[in-house]
A and B are shown apart, each in its own frame.
Chain A
Amino acid sequence: MSAAEHLGDLLSALADGELTSFEAAAAQTHVTQCSVCAAELDDVTTARAFVRGLPQLDPPFGFYERVLRHDRRLAAAGTGWKGRRVAAAAFGSAAAAVVLLGLAPPRDTPVSPPVNSLVEAHATGASFGGDPLSRLAPIGVPVTFRR
């Protein structure tokens, strides 16, 4: 069989149950007839087993206690968290806010709309209609909705 007819990453999808039953049946049939794909399927399921077999780890002793103590001190002082890899203290930190539009707390956690990000998404989207300058200029002022 030519290389173009091997299943490639569909093999991972097959192993993970991410194919429809029709596709899975067809893929499984192919695997029984193709030694290349059968070997590759075995490889990925082995690698998956390796990773699934990794144990949970404990953080260094007292790590969370230190973090919580620091966090409480900062919350009391009302200052932003300062750290090596920390985003800007202002609520409207774009990288964090934009990334976090993709995050979902569990169903019973109340929603906190990322207002700064939504304002930016609106104003930049609206700027495609009419005059961009008057729509974009306000975004140049860092939004700082205090919550």
Chain B
Amino acid sequence: MADEVVPTWEEIARSYGRFLYTVAYRLTGNNDDAQDLVQDVLLRVRKGLGSYRPGSMEGWLSRIATNAFLDDVRRRRRRPLELLPDEPDRVTPPARAADVDLEAQVLPDDVQAALRRLPPEYRSAVVLSDVVGLSYQEISEALDVPVGTVRSRLHRGRAMLKKDLA
């Protein structure tokens, strides 16, 4: 059986670099941590570990990134200090006219800030579902939690976001 071509990190960076950085940024909420997370994904991809299952490259990369992110969250929970976020938190959501399209009024920065205020487990579910587009089953396997947990975290995350933003 002939050797198949394994995508190199260069190829991944060229074709999926923006995607990967975007996922990392949505998960971590700031540039420094996003860059660290991308490098962590590089290390894991380079080690060549992984079990085989059909799926997309975006799905695979976002799973590595999310698990690396949550591993780091667990490690940091043992440390007393939290890293300070880049952007200042919004204290109150902006006032808006009732008849204006809500989505147009809410800026991406607002959504990102609200995402960062979510507990990491909720944030992961929201990112994997609504940024990457994975199904509940795919998220369940990526995070190694039951589908019911995925649904619950996603729902609560979304509810919190809505409350925070409007």
Find out whether A and B make contact in their complex, taking CB atoms under 8 A apart as touching.
yes
With CB as the reference atom, state the residue of chain A lying closest to B149.
A9
Chain B residues closer than 8 Å to A58, beta-carbon distance = 18, 21
Cβ-neighbour of A103 out of B6, B63, B129, B155 (below 8 A): B63
A126: B residues at CB distance < 8 A: none
Do the beta carbons of B115 and A51 come within 8 Å of each other? Answer: yes
Select which of B64, B103, B141 is within 8 A of A49 by beta carbon: B103
Interface assignment of A83: CB less than 8 Å from any CB of chain B: yes
- Asked whether B158 lies within 8 Å of A48 as measured between CB atoms, the reply is yes
| Chain B interfacial residues counted at CB < 8 A | 77
Q: List 17 A-B contacts (CB under 8 A).
A: A8-B155, A9-B151, A47-B159, A48-B130, A50-B114, A50-B165, A60-B35, A67-B13, A71-B46, A85-B40, A86-B43, A93-B47, A99-B67, A104-B63, A110-B3, A112-B49, A113-B51
Chain B residues numbered 15-68 whose CB sits less than 8 Å from any CB in chain A? 17-19, 21-22, 25-26, 31, 34-40, 42-44, 46-57, 59-60, 63-64, 67-68
- The answer to whether A47 and B162 have CB atoms under 8 Å apart is yes
**Which of A26-34, A38-46, A130-138 is near enough to bind chain B?**
A38-46
CA distance A93 to B44 in the complex (A): 10
- Shortest distance from the beta carbon of A113 to any chain B beta carbon, whole Å: 8
The reply to whether A91 and B161 contact each other, CB–CB distance below 8 Å, is no
Distance (Å) between the CB of A19 and the closest chain B CB? 10
Known: A53-B108, A67-B39, A104-B51. A16 touches B158 (CB 8 A): no
